Structure formats: C-alpha cells, structure tokens
Amino acid sequence: MSSWQNAQQQVVHGRYPAAVTVYRNLAGQFPGVPQLWAELGIAATSNLEFELAGQSLRRATEMAANDSALLLSIGEQYQRLRRLKEAGDCYERAVAADPLSIHARLSLAAMLERDRRLDRARECVEVCLKQNPQDGPARYFRAFLLHRQGLAAEAETALRDLLRNDPKDPSVKSATLHLLGVILDESGQYAEAMRRLVEAKALVRQNSEAATLLQGYDQRDAARRQLLASMTPDTIKRWREEASAATAEPARRLAFLGGSPRSGTTLIEQILGAHPDILVFDEPKAFPLEVLGVMQPGATPKPMSLSALNAVPAATRTNFIRRYYKSLLNELEEPPGGELLLDKNPSTTASLHIWLRLFPWSKIIISLRDPRDVIVSCFFQNLQLTAINANFLTLERTAKFYSDLTDVWLRLRDLGGFDWLETRYEDFVVNLEAEGRRVTDFLGLTWDAGQATYHETARRKFVFAPTYHDVTKPIYNRAVRRWEHYAEALAPCQSVLGRYCRAFGYGEV
C-alpha cells in the first residue's frame, strides 16, 4: 500500500492524528499536488486542527486554479466547515475554470440561493439552460428559484412541462414531483399535492439504500429503547454528581434545544438567537461528530449499553467535552460573544441520554407541536437520504419515527434529575412575546425587545436548517392544524399519534 493510500485508510478508520502525520510528510515530499493539500485539510479538520485545515485548503484552492472538479470538492468541504465565504469563492473559481460545466454553475447557484441572492442564482441557471435547454437539473432548479421568488404559477408550469418530458434521472423526477406537491399545497390543491408527494417518495424508495438504512435505524432504536428502560431516577442524579466532582461548569452556560424535526425548533432558535446574550448554533455537527461518532463508531452504529455509558471515565468525558466545545466554537467566523451557548439540533434528541451523560447540568428545551402537523410537515420535506430521513418516505414510517424520538423524551422526562422546559409552537403563534419571555426566563435571562423582530436578524445571516426560508418571515398561523387538509391520508397513523396528542394536550384522536 502506498503512503497516500495509507493516509486515506487512516481517515476512513477514524485515525485522524496518524492520517495528519502521513499527509504532512506527503505534502512535504510532493508540495505541488493540490489533491494532497485538500485531503490534508480534510484530515486536519477531523483532528480539530482547524488552523492547519484552513492553511491546507487555501493552498489547495490556489494550486487548483484550472481544476473545476477539485475546486468543487474543496468548496463542499468549506461548506461542511461552515466557512461560507470560502465555499462561495471556490464555486466561483470552479465556474471560471470550466465555464461549460453545468454542475459547477448549479453548485454556485445553490449557494447563492441559500444566501438569498436569488437574482444571481437565476443568472447562473439561465446560462446553463442557454447551453443545454433540456438539462433536467437546470430546469428543475429554475422552477425552484421561481417558487423562491414568489412566482408560484410560473414554477408550477415549468414543473409540469418538465414532467411531460419524463426526466430520466430519478432524482430530478422525484424532486420535480415533490416541489410540485409543495406548490399545490400552498394553493389549496391538497388532494393532488399529497398524490404528487406519494409519487415522489415512491421513486426514492426504489433506491436500494433506503431499505438498508431503515433496517439499521430499527436495530438502533430497539437497542436505545432497551437502554432507556434500564435507567432509573438515580441514573441522571448520579451523572450530575459525577460531573460536579470531576469538572467545573464552563465559563459560559450551555443549553440544548430539541424536539421532533418540524416542531418549531428553528423558529425558537431564531427568537432566542436575537437575544444579545445568547449565542445559537443551528444544527451544529459538534455533538454528532465529536461525541456520537466516537462513542458509537461505524456506518451503522449501535447505542451503548447503560453499563458502558455509566463506565465512561471522567478523563474520557472531559476529552469529549473539550472536543465538543472546540468543534462547536469553530463554526464561528468571529470571536464568540454571549454568555449562553444554545445547541439546537432536533436529531440529537434521540441521543439526549448521552448528552446528559456529558452535560447533565445544561438546560434542556423541548419544542412541541401537534403531532399530526409534525407528521405532515416532515412528509413534505425533500431531504438527502439518511438513516433518519429514510423514515419520511411514507406517512406510516414518519409516524413511527416521531414515536421513537418522542418516547426518548417522555422516558427522560419521567426520570427527571435535570432542568427542562417544554414549549409549544402554537403558543408562539398565539403570543410570541409571552411564550418567548417564558423560554428566555427559563434560561436565566431577560427578554430583549429585538427578539420580537427575530425575522429581521434571520435575514442577515445564513440559516442551515431546512426551514431557512420560512424563518425570514414574521410568524404566521397557516401551519397550525394543517393536518386537517390531509386527515384521510393520516388515518392509518392516528392510532400511533393519539397517545402523543393526549400526552401533550392536543386533544383526542
């Protein structure tokens, strides 16, 4: 095996310090190979050597002036690092290196759209269509941008035209059907909206990976349920005592905001993030990568047993905490302010017991919303296929996922031993300031007037959550009781959801 292959294998197996050492030596021997510098940057990122990562990626970028594919790869790595200016610069360079590359232009257009520069994004797409008027991804993205610009009728026409041409790429066809369903929902054509979504999801389910992902997900859920059942009220109390004895709390306080996806977590995060003393992190990678990825390694990780979780030594916990904070704070491009750090990540709710093993003194906020609205809203999301998102391919699996995640919360809530607060999305809709004050008070802070105009702040920053577009608008009530439009489709899920509707005060089903 060559040294380069050795370095790549070290990264694959999570041996990042060794990988960095090998890559450093290789880069010293072959300083003119930009791919080496790019891979050193990736390995250094995983080893939390962020200064080295930045230097390596910058060097690779400068050396790859004519390599559009490598520039795109570096841009994607910058996006994972949440270095958005550098990512955009790489995409611009990729287009300059290969002006005929539709992939490069669409990558740049997607970045511009997320940054709300819709006119520039449209320009990129129109250039693509001028080169190839029948390009499926470009035609889809043009319709997507029309929708983002409020031109729903034009977007619908473009999508129906694309479907009449029967795009051969399944991902383009499923995305087209999905976006058409979203537009139809917004215009009140609920029956066809659901029909189009079901068609889109059926196409994605044909991906052989979907069944494998769900199988692994179900195995992990069963193991997690077994762990949670073995916990007692003394468990978290003991964790809290051990944390106090081993390490002092950090200088700034920490809070976690979770709940089911589409339960209002992004809205709450934006309202809290408008407070000058709260520093919010929008679905950060720190906990999944630096804690879960190490505690539960592998492509299909299994949850730890309670005995293993209890046995994690103080020194190991301290190292996890150090890596977590280092990775979290690296997402900031400027020195951090704010006396309280808020980690908002719905997916981490499923691992809240592991969070509490490390941070039992942190404040926990759980966002609630009518379970039926949550299910419909999750089903309407068009997300990259992952072990979690594979559940959103049928309404029944979406309801199961909601049940799995919510049962984690209900079990931990019953056990107690930590500081928690539930807040309802519907209460924010009825009276934003009253509910916002209640949640802010729970965090030990006083309501700030700027929180009431959170959407103005959201327009000035990059929002990573899938609902990035919605949070730039003032709060609205059209998402409340949205499920009633889809009551017939939801009927098979009602027996599962009834328990949660009763538990959280949403009435009988």
Calpha distance 406→263 (Å, rounded) = 11
Calpha distance 202→174 (Å, rounded) = 8
Calpha distance 40→42 (Å, rounded) = 5
Calpha distance 390→210 (Å, rounded) = 6
Calpha distance 124→127 (Å, rounded) = 5
Q: Residue ranges of the domains in the chain?
A: 134-206, 208-503
User: Residue 183 pLDDT > 70, yes or no?
Assistant: yes
Q: Are 392 and 398 in contact (CB under 8 A)?
A: yes
> From edge to edge, which strands make up the β-sheet containing 340-344?
278-282, 340-344, 253-259, 363-368, 419-424
Residue pLDDT, tens place only, 131-159: 999 999 999 999 999 999 999 999 999 99
A 10 A CB-CB count for 315 gives 9
Q: Is 163 exposed, middle or buried (0-12, 13-18, 19+ CB in 10 A)?
A: middle
Whole-number pLDDT of residue 297: 62
Whole-number pLDDT of residue 463: 57
Name the pLDDT band for 112 (thresholds 50, 70, 90): very high
Residue pLDDT, tens place only, 339-360: 899 999 999 999 999 999 999 9
3-state secondary structure of 208: helix
Write b or e for each residue in 119-132: b if 16 or more Cβ atoms lie within 10 A of its Cβ, otherwise e: eebbebbebbeeee
Mean pLDDT of 275-296: 90
Calpha distance 247→240 (Å, rounded) = 11
Look up residue 323 and give its two tokens.
Answer: 């890596």
Whole-number pLDDT of residue 248: 47
Taking Cα atoms as reference points, which of 354, 389, 383, 348 lies closest to residue 367?
348
The whole-chain average pLDDT of the chain stands at 90
The partner residues of 421 in beta bridges, in order of sequence, read 365
Pairing of strands 253-259, 278-282: unpaired
Calpha distance 259→369 (Å, rounded) = 9
Q: Are 33 and 52 in contact (CB under 8 A)?
A: no
Look up residue 51 and give its two tokens.
Answer: 């200064």
Whole-number pLDDT of residue 108: 95
Taking Cα atoms as reference points, which of 471, 422, 502, 462 lies closest to residue 81?
462
Q: Are 23 and 7 in contact (CB under 8 A)?
A: yes
CATH number of 208-503: 3.40.50.300
Q: What is the pTM of this model?
A: 0.90
Q: Are 121 and 138 in contact (CB under 8 A)?
A: no
- The CATH topology of domain 134-206 is 1.25.40
Mean pLDDT of 124-137: 95
Whole-number pLDDT of residue 464: 54
Taking each helix axis as running N to C, give the angle between helix 170-186 and helix 190-205, from 0 to 180 degrees, rounded to the nearest 10. Answer: 160
User: Residue 370 pLDDT > 90, yes or no?
Assistant: yes
Taking Cα atoms as reference points, which of 397, 369, 350, 365 lies closest to residue 501?
369
The partner residues of 258 in beta bridges, in order of sequence, read 366
Name the pLDDT band for 301 (thresholds 50, 70, 90): low
**What does each C-alpha distance from 272 to 278, 343, 394, 440, 447 come to in angstroms?**
7, 11, 33, 7, 9
Long-range contacts of the stretch 98-107 (C-beta < 8 A, 24+): 98/68, 100/131, 101/68, 102/128, 102/131, 102/132, 102/135, 102/137, 102/138, 103/72, 104/68, 104/71, 104/72, 106/137, 106/138, 106/141, 107/72, 107/75
User: Residue 458 pLDDT > 80, yes or no?
Assistant: no
Mean pLDDT of 259-275: 94
Whole-number pLDDT of residue 80: 84
**Going by C-beta distance under 8 Å and a sequence separation of 6 or more, which residues neighbour residue 363?**
253, 254, 255, 256, 419, 420, 421, 442, 443
Residue pLDDT, tens place only, 308-340: 999 999 999 999 999 999 999 888 866 666 789
Give a three-class secondary structure readout of 351-406.
Answer: HHHHHHHHCCCCEEEEEECCHHHHHHHHHCCCCCCCCCHHHHHCHHHHHHHHHHHH
Mean pLDDT of 473-494: 84
Q: Same topology for domains 134-206 and 208-503, yes or no?
A: no
**What does each C-alpha distance from 467 to 210, 290, 358, 368, 473 come to in angstroms?**
24, 25, 29, 16, 11
Calpha distance 223→343 (Å, rounded) = 25
Name the pLDDT band for 302 (thresholds 50, 70, 90): low
Whole-number pLDDT of residue 74: 94
Whole-number pLDDT of residue 454: 86
Name the pLDDT band for 71 (thresholds 50, 70, 90): very high
User: Residue 475 pLDDT > 50, yes or no?
Assistant: yes
User: Residue 226 pLDDT > 50, yes or no?
Assistant: yes
Residue pLDDT, tens place only, 28-63: 999 999 999 999 999 999 899 999 999 999 999 999
Calpha distance 259→368 (Å, rounded) = 7
User: Residue 438 pLDDT > 90, yes or no?
Assistant: yes
First to last CA, the chain: 62
